Structure 1
Amino acid sequence: MNKLQQQTRRISKAPKLAPLIALTFLLTIPLYYPFHTHSPKNLLPLHNTNDNSPCSGDGCGGDAAGVGGVEAEQCDLFSGEWVPDPEGPYYTNESCYAIQEHQDCMKFGRPDLGFLKWRWKPDECQLALFDPRRFLELVRGKSLAFVGDSVARNHMQSLICLLAKVAYPSDVSETTDENKRYTYTEHNFNISIFWSPYLVKTGKLDNEPFDLYLDEFDPSWTTQISHYDYVIISAGHWFFRPTYFHLENRRVGCLYCPEPEITHLTPVFSYRRAFRTAFRGINGGGAARSGGGVTFLRTFAPSHFEGGGWNSGGNCTRTRPFRRNETVLEGPGLEFYTVQLEELGIAQSAGRGTGGKFRLFDATKVMLLRPDGHPSRYGHWPGANRVLYNDCVHWCLPGPIDSWNDFLQELLMRELGDAT
């Protein structure tokens, strides 16, 4: 029996969390799923060798080359393949307390652990594995904010788990909601998550359709990030939910609303305006003005439902990564990705006048190839008399999302002029 199997066996015997906590997680998981009727089949067709990526070439590893007049920068970290990594994973659910129930694939008995044995290899350079000691030295005296939805939180939790080999943070959150703040006192480093799934001002998120005010800032984060050295901004799956759209204090349309007399618009309409407003909020006095702060756009990470949607039996049961000639990004996923790159280019141009620094963190091309990394049905115990959905949106911890912190480490090194 190898070490990973021994760890997994010990994990399966570990005491279970209180039933009330478990039930809370199970009931809240559907809140993070994309509530839409679009079939995912158009997003991930197999065995297609076309490359329809709107970002290719040397510039995609730093700024978005070829979009909005953005400059090229160093090796493209995000063009490559997943290669075998027999050393993974680099933590388990025994060694990290930050893993939420619905991401804990080991706990809930996922039988195949091969998805933990891959790492990302760029085509033209090496990407160093995350080194927690090195990372904490890079960010000593700094602050990092994640702005977005539950996938942004998924990323933050991965970072905390990888750093757990060296240090655990103190929870210094001042609220009991989704907004959290953690500090690594010994390194004078803090991490925050700002819950803002639409990035802009939004009506209450307890009843659909939601109201989106697409030209108004979300004050929950835009009034806070001026103190942060690094901001990672992201959003995606919530934009497929039923919503009413507002511009200049009037309703201009909707997505999946029941009223036939209202103009029915597409998710791309709100997606573009939300990112443009969010970037305008940063350029207008946010992180860009805090001593040379840097904003990273983490691009849309595709879901991998096959055989149906999230609510119609779709699942993600593959056990290995795709190679890049086995799938292609198209449909809504490609539209979202293109919008993000175009809006990033606009923000970078505006940032030259405000001192704002905007960088590309391209998760799309990388995670398109990981249909094997989602919890699927291994994010909960089988439930009696209860409908439970397969999770093909979030990522197992440990899992392929840990590579995002390999990227983050390299991107920070480049910002600090310490890349090797």
Structure 2
Amino acid sequence: MKFQVMELLFGKNTPKQMIPKVTLLAVFAILVFTVTPLSYPLFRYSSSYLNKNNNNNHHHPSSAFDDLNQFSQSLPSTSVKKCDIFTGEWVPNPKAPYYTNKTCWAIHEHQNCMKYGRPDSEFMKWRWKPNGCDLPIFNPFQFLELVRDKSMAFVGDSVGRNQMQSMICLLSRAEWPIDVSLIRDDYFMRWKYPSYNFTIASFWTPHLVRSHEAAKGPSQTGLHNLYLDEPDEKWITQMQDFDYIILSGGHWFTKSMVFYENQKLVGCHYCLLENVPDLTMYYGYRKALRTAFRALNNLKDFKGITYLRTFAPSHFENGLWNQGGNCVRTKPFRSNETQLEGFNLEFYMIQLEEFKIAEREARKKGRKLRLLDTTQATLLRPDGHPSRYGHWPSENVTLYNDCVHWCLPGPIDTWSDFLLEMLKMEGVRSAQEKLHFRAN
């Protein structure tokens, strides 16, 4: 895999004297007609950001990140050539990380690996290099300009919350958010970036559909009742006014569940109940994902964009999560050193199949459904999990080695790289889809 050193933000600038004036005009015209549909003020700072005073919720970026503060001098990376940004390799990035556990308060304790003694730090010093193109490092100033006056919801389980906390840390180089949560509940949080009028929110819904823990018995500890044809009202009833929805989930479907459809018990997954057929966790996940997509497609007057952030593989080795399994690797895999398999593969394939069905329905209604396909990049990062570094060794807690969530800083910071690139290309993609729709 060729490793090409690139500028942090927008690639190497070609000296103007090497380009004929006619070519310059042609390039400028192409950029105007591809970037303009984005309809965002890409190259200005918020005046309130420039003039705000330093208080507990805001701070000026440190000089260590000055190179990220130069985007107004360059055009953004919005190449119109075809490139699959989700297929590639991890390459060294000595400039990373772009925040630390000491500079970001948003890191969940169980993902604060450096605080709790992880001895190595190389897992933070990699970046994703797609085959055939470059993926710019996340630029917090550019991102906040793109989402000015908008809102974003992270819908899913604790890995989804992990993703949101990663974004808060990355954005902290530009501005700290203020807590605007509607209720005092760590499972349903809202944060606002005042200078940009941008709000992000977290909605805890590990099964996506309505569920509750069943009465515990001798053999049913942790058993959940899932109503597979009913979306969880705690999140779906609040999606109407969001501009972006990041939907994810899956890991909770490996647990014991009882399935209901049309208010009737239809089966279960590892429930150990007499005369109840085992329909497997895959049946439950497919049905739940289909219900979530259908509910989003049926939202009245919803004008936002829904992203399915694909399954984040776990990396337990030498045993299952509750049988001594661990993740102690300190370097990424190369793409030819591992492959998606087992339940990780099954969950991912279910997502792709259900996404395709939902996307077809979304297009009929003029809705936008996008695939934030982080699975391959995440599969190659067995070194990025907390393992046992999510608490003090002497702490009296019952926690297994964590090979599901991700250390911060860490590999999932790249999920924001992916998302920003997709946002930058959204105007071009939307225009292409409109042309295709009219042609057909």
Per the normalisation by structure 1, the TM-score is 0.80
Residues 205 and 154 of structure 1, relative CA distance in 2, 3 Å threshold:
farther
Measure how far apart 1:129 and its partner are.
0.4
Aligned partner (choices 170, 175, 178) of residue 167 of structure 1: 175
Confirm or deny that 1:342 pairs with 2:324: no
Higher alpha-carbon deviation: 175-184 or 273-282: 175-184
**2:199 aligns to what?**
190
Measure how far apart 1:105 and its partner are.
0.7
Supply the RMSD in Å over aligned alpha carbons.
1.8
- Give CA-to-partner distance per residue, 1:56-109, whole Å, 9 cap, x none: xxxxxxxxxxxxxxxxx9321110000000101000011111011101111011
Q: How many matched pairs? A: 345
**1:271 aligns to what?**
285
SS of the counterpart of 1:126? coil
**Percent identity (aligned):** 57
Give me the whole-angstrom Cα distance separating, in 2, the residues matched to 1:395 and 1:214.
29
Letter in 2 for 1:333: N
**1:74 aligns to what?**
82
**1:284 aligns to what?**
298
**1:364 aligns to what?**
375
Confirm or deny that 1:92 pairs with 2:100: yes
- Give CA-to-partner distance per residue, 1:321-359, whole Å, 9 cap, x none: 000111111111111111100111111110122221111
Within-5 A mapping of 1:297-312: 297-312=308-323
Give me the whole-angstrom Cα distance separating, in 2, the residues matched to 1:148 and 1:137.
26
Give me the whole-angstrom Cα distance separating, in 2, the residues matched to 1:88 and 1:385.
34
**1:156 aligns to what?**
164
Confirm or deny that 1:252 pairs with 2:263: no
Unaligned runs of 5+ in 2: 1-80, 217-221, 431-440
Give me the whole-angstrom Cα distance separating, in 2, the residues matched to 1:383 and 1:213.
41
SS of the counterpart of 2:382? coil
Letter in 1 for 2:259: F
Within-5 A mapping of 1:399-410: 399-410=410-421
**2:210 aligns to what?**
201
SS of the counterpart of 1:372? helix
Measure how far apart 1:127 and its partner are.
0.4
Per the normalisation by structure 2, the TM-score is 0.76
Residues 290 and 390 of structure 1, relative CA distance in 2, 3 Å threshold:
same
- Give CA-to-partner distance per residue, 1:135-190, whole Å, 9 cap, x none: 10010011100000000000000000000011011111112220111111110110
Letter in 1 for 2:137: L
**2:408 aligns to what?**
397
**2:241 aligns to what?**
227
Give me the whole-angstrom Cα distance separating, in 1, the residues matched to 2:82 and 2:294.
27
Higher alpha-carbon deviation: 362-371 or 258-267: 258-267
Measure how far apart 1:310 and its partner are.
1.0
**1:351 aligns to what?**
362
Letter in 2 for 1:307: N
Higher alpha-carbon deviation: 382-391 or 209-218: 382-391
Unaligned runs of 5+ in 1: 1-72
Letter in 1 for 2:209: V
Measure how far apart 1:230 and its partner are.
0.6
Residues 83 and 174 of structure 1, relative CA distance in 2, 3 Å threshold:
same
**Larger Rg, first or second structure (1 or 2):** 2
**2:250 aligns to what?**
236
- Greater relative contact order (Cα < 8 A, sep 6+): 1
Cα pair 2:213 2:223 within 8 Å, conserved: no
Give me the whole-angstrom Cα distance separating, in 1, the residues matched to 2:205 and 2:365.
24
**2:390 aligns to what?**
379
**2:325 aligns to what?**
314
SS of the counterpart of 2:383? coil
Measure how far apart 1:206 and its partner are.
8.8
Measure how far apart 1:285 and its partner are.
1.0
Residues 173 and 354 of structure 1, relative CA distance in 2, 3 Å threshold:
same
Cα pair 2:385 2:404 within 8 Å, conserved: yes
- Give CA-to-partner distance per residue, 1:291-339, whole Å, 9 cap, x none: 3x11000010000000111111110000000001111111111111111
Runs of 4+, deviation exceeding 2 Å: 204-208, 383-388, 416-419
Measure how far apart 1:381 and its partner are.
0.4
**1:145 aligns to what?**
153
Give me the whole-angstrom Cα distance separating, in 1, the residues matched to 2:425 and 2:355.
19
Higher alpha-carbon deviation: 80-89 or 256-265: 256-265
Give me the whole-angstrom Cα distance separating, in 2, the residues matched to 1:346 and 1:206.
36
Measure how far apart 1:256 and its partner are.
1.2
**1:216 aligns to what?**
230
